[in-house]
A and B are shown apart, each in its own frame.
Chain A
Amino acid sequence: MKYWVTCQNALLTTLAYRGNLLLHLLTTAINVLVTIFMWLAVYNFSGRVTIAGIQSRQMVFYLIVVNVLALIFSAEPIFKFSGLVRSGNLSVVLMRPINYFVQSFWEYLGRAIPYLIVYGLVTGIISPIFHRGLLYGVSSLLLMAVTYGMFLLMITAISLCSFWLIQVWPLRPVLSALFLLLGGQAFPLQVLPAAFSWLIYNPFSLAGNQLTLLLLGKLSLDQIAITGGWTMLWTVAVLVLIKLTWHRGIRSYEGVGS
Chain B
Amino acid sequence: MSAPIISINHASFSYVTFTKQSGFSGAWHDLFHRQKSTVAAVRDISLQVNRGEVLGLLGANGAGKTTLIKLMTGILPVNTGKVRLFADQVPFRKRPAFLQRIGVMLSQKSQLAWDLPPLDTLVLLREIYHISHDQFTTWLAFLTKELAVTPQLHVPVRKLSLGQRIKFELICTLIHRPEILFLNEPTIDIDVSSQANIYRFLKQLNQDTQMTIILTSHNTKDIEALAQRVAVINHGRKIFDGTTTGLISHYATAPILEIVTDGPLTPLPAHVRQVDPTHYEVDATALATLPVDPRHILRVSRRNGNLDAILTQLFSEEAPAQ
Render B107-137 as a binary contact track against A, CB cut-off 8 A, 1 for contact.
1111101011000110111011100000000
Partner of A16, one of B107, B115, B129, B185: B115
B24 contacts A by Cβ under 8 Å: no
Partner of A257, one of B74, B108, B120, B123: B108
CA distance A10 to B85 in the complex (A): 34
B73 contacts A by Cβ under 8 Å: yes
Contact B109 A1 (CB under 8 A): no
Contact B115 A92 (CB under 8 A): no
B77 contacts A by Cβ under 8 Å: yes
CB distance from B228 to the nearest CB of A (A): 23
Given contacts A91-B106, A94-B75, A255-B76, contact A9 B113 (CB under 8 A): yes
CA distance A94 to B73 in the complex (A): 10
- Chain A residue contacts of B75, Cβ below 8 A: 91, 94-95, 253, 255
- Chain B residue contacts of A48, Cβ below 8 A: none
Residue on B nearest A12 in the bound complex, by CB: B116
Residue on A nearest B76 in the bound complex, by CB: A255
CB distance from B120 to the nearest CB of A (A): 5
Partner of A2, one of B100, B104, B116, B124: B124
- Chain A residue contacts of B107, Cβ below 8 A: 258
Contact B128 A13 (CB under 8 A): no
B187 contacts A by Cβ under 8 Å: no
Q: How large is the interface on B (under 10, 10 to 19, 20 to 34, 35 or more residues)?
A: 35 or more
CA distance A13 to B156 in the complex (A): 11
- Chain A residue contacts of B320, Cβ below 8 A: none
CB distance from A8 to the nearest CB of B (A): 8
- Chain A residue contacts of B99, Cβ below 8 A: 95-97
A131 contacts B by Cβ under 8 Å: no
Contact B124 A91 (CB under 8 A): no
CA distance A98 to B130 in the complex (A): 11
Residue on A nearest B125 in the bound complex, by CB: A96
CA distance A258 to B106 in the complex (A): 6
- Chain A residue contacts of B108, Cβ below 8 A: 88, 257-258
- Chain B residue contacts of A13, Cβ below 8 A: 113, 115-116
CA distance A246 to B179 in the complex (A): 29
Q: Name the interface residues of A87-114: CB closer than 8 Å to any CB of B.
A: 88-89, 91-92, 94-98
Contact A91 B100 (CB under 8 A): no
- Chain B residue contacts of A132, Cβ below 8 A: none
Contact B184 A258 (CB under 8 A): yes
B15 contacts A by Cβ under 8 Å: yes
CB distance from A96 to the nearest CB of B (A): 6
Render A1-39 as a binary contact track against B, CB cut-off 8 A, 1 for contact.
110111001001100110000000000000000000000
- Chain B residue contacts of A12, Cβ below 8 A: 115-116, 120
A254 contacts B by Cβ under 8 Å: yes
Contact B109 A92 (CB under 8 A): yes
B102 contacts A by Cβ under 8 Å: yes
- Chain A residue contacts of B120, Cβ below 8 A: 9, 12
Residue on B nearest A255 in the bound complex, by CB: B75
A251 contacts B by Cβ under 8 Å: yes
Render A50-72 as a binary contact track against B, CB cut-off 8 A, 1 for contact.
00000000000000000000000
CB distance from A186 to the nearest CB of B (A): 34
- Chain B residue contacts of A251, Cβ below 8 A: 77
Residue on B nearest A88 in the bound complex, by CB: B109
Given contacts A2-B128, A17-B115, A97-B128, contact A258 B110 (CB under 8 A): no
CB distance from A91 to the nearest CB of B (A): 5
- Chain B residue contacts of A97, Cβ below 8 A: 96-97, 99-100, 128-129
Contact A92 B124 (CB under 8 A): no
Contact B73 A95 (CB under 8 A): yes
CB distance from B269 to the nearest CB of A (A): 49
CA distance A89 to B111 in the complex (A): 9
- Chain A residue contacts of B15, Cβ below 8 A: 254
Contact A95 B102 (CB under 8 A): yes
Contact A92 B111 (CB under 8 A): yes
Chain A residues proximal to chain B, CB less than 8 Å: 1-2, 4-6, 9, 12-13, 16-17, 88-89, 91-92, 94-98, 251, 253-255, 257-258
What are 27 A-B interface contacts by the 8 Å CB criterion? A2-B124, A5-B123, A5-B124, A9-B121, A12-B115, A13-B113, A13-B115, A16-B115, A88-B108, A88-B109, A89-B110, A91-B106, A92-B106, A92-B109, A94-B94, A95-B74, A95-B75, A95-B102, A95-B104, A97-B99, A98-B128, A251-B77, A253-B76, A255-B76, A257-B106, A258-B66, A258-B107
Chain B residues proximal to chain A, CB less than 8 Å: 15, 66, 70, 73-77, 94, 96-97, 99-100, 102, 104, 106-111, 113, 115-116, 120-121, 123-125, 127-129, 156, 184-185
What 8 pairs across the A-B complex have the smallest Cβ distances?
A: A2-B127, A97-B96, A97-B99, A258-B66, A16-B115, A255-B75, A5-B124, A95-B104
